[in-house]
Amino acid sequence: MPANPFNGFTEYGIGIGLRVPHYRHILAKKPVVDWFEIISENFMVDGGRPLEVLDSILEQYRVVQHGVAMYFGSADKFDREHQKRLKRLVKRTKTPWLSDHLCWGSVDGRYTHDLLPMPYTFAVARHTAQKIREARDFLEVPICVENVSSYAEYHASEMTEWEFLSEVVEQADCGILLDVNNIYVSSKNHNFDPYDYLNSVPHHRVGQIHIAGHSKFEKYLLDTHDHPVLDPVWQMYAHAIKLVGGTATLLEWDDRIPSFDEVHNEALKANKFRDEQLATTTASDQYPRTTA
């Protein structure tokens, strides 16, 4: 359902990422945008221009935080400095939920700055869920964990990716940031039906959706976030909306970033699918009867 415990019971609509090339336009023109997503690590600083811009944005817009460095799947313990800075930022933005990725990316204090897939095993699911619970307890904000695009699979995996995601979020009792483009990219790289993935995850835990573009190479797809959303991904998004309702949706465009208007117009295409879903919802779906 759109408003649920994993997005702080909010009903946010279509958002876009807050990106440096758009700062001037947003601060000068004050366009109507339902919400912005920020990359937490870009604002976990002590001062200067990043926080000056963020505070100006917070005066007029709703902001949700999305992280790239919690590495729930890493064997290392959390970086305490990272966690403390993240918590300060959570208090500053009042983000209704916080997301990060179902991945690992650091070992022995060395960072890849990438979102690496894990072997899908029960032991890894237990470890990852434990770290998510620990993060949530410290940060005191609902957490949604995002499925990543991947280019490799492990011999050690005991289950499918969607079974693994489901296992992790149930054990962690956390939400899902359902990245529809990542499902599509991974489905092509690993030869599975993306609709099996969409149909199988616990829909009541989806707190947010991501859509994005990607790049096609001869033998694989790469999650580049530098193109418009492709038609197969829009079709998957429409299906996702039927399954989870009109959930907060964010268009990611992180490289070769065009004008603000072009990015925002691309994001607003999602409204078409949300409106169609709402139109097919019956009255009884909207106002379920309760028995005394």
**Interface segment toward other proteins; rule CB under 8 A; list 40-48, 130-138, 203-211, 282-290:** 40-48
Give CA separation, 74 vs 107, 123, 126, 130, in Å: 7, 13, 12, 11
Output DSSP code: residue 108: T
From 148, 138, 143, select the one nearest 173 (Cα to Cα).
Answer: 143
Count the Cβ atoms, other than its own, within 10 Å of residue 100.
24
Q: Does 272 bind other proteins (CB under 8 A)?
A: no
How many residues are listed for the chain in this entry? 292
3-class SS at 252?
strand
Distances (CA, A) of 183 to 44, 99, 159, 211: 29, 17, 16, 10
Q: Of 107 and 278, which has the nearer Cβ to other proteins? A: 107
Least separation in angstroms between CB 260 and other proteins: 21
The binder of other proteins chosen from 25, 62, 82, 87 (CB under 8 A): 82
Regarding 139 and contact with other proteins (CB under 8 A), the answer is no
Stretch that binds other proteins, among 20-28, 39-47, 164-172, 236-244 (CB under 8 A): 39-47
154 binds other proteins (CB under 8 A): yes
- Closest to other proteins by CB, 110 vs 289, is 110
Is 212 a binding residue for other proteins by CB under 8 A? The answer is: no
CB-CB neighbours of 191 under 10 Å? 8
77 binds other proteins (CB under 8 A): no
* Of the candidate residues 20, 75, 156, 278, the single one contacting other proteins (CB under 8 A): 156
Token look-up 């221009």 returns 49
Q: Does 109 bind other proteins (CB under 8 A)?
A: yes
Residue 46 contacts other proteins per CB under 8 A: yes
| In contact, 239 and 198? CB cutoff 8 Å | yes
80 binds other proteins (CB under 8 A): no
Q: Which of 13, 28, 81, 23 is nearest to 52 (CA)?
A: 23
Binding site for other proteins (CB under 8 A): 41, 44-51, 69, 79, 82, 106, 109-114, 116, 151-156, 189-191, 219-220, 222
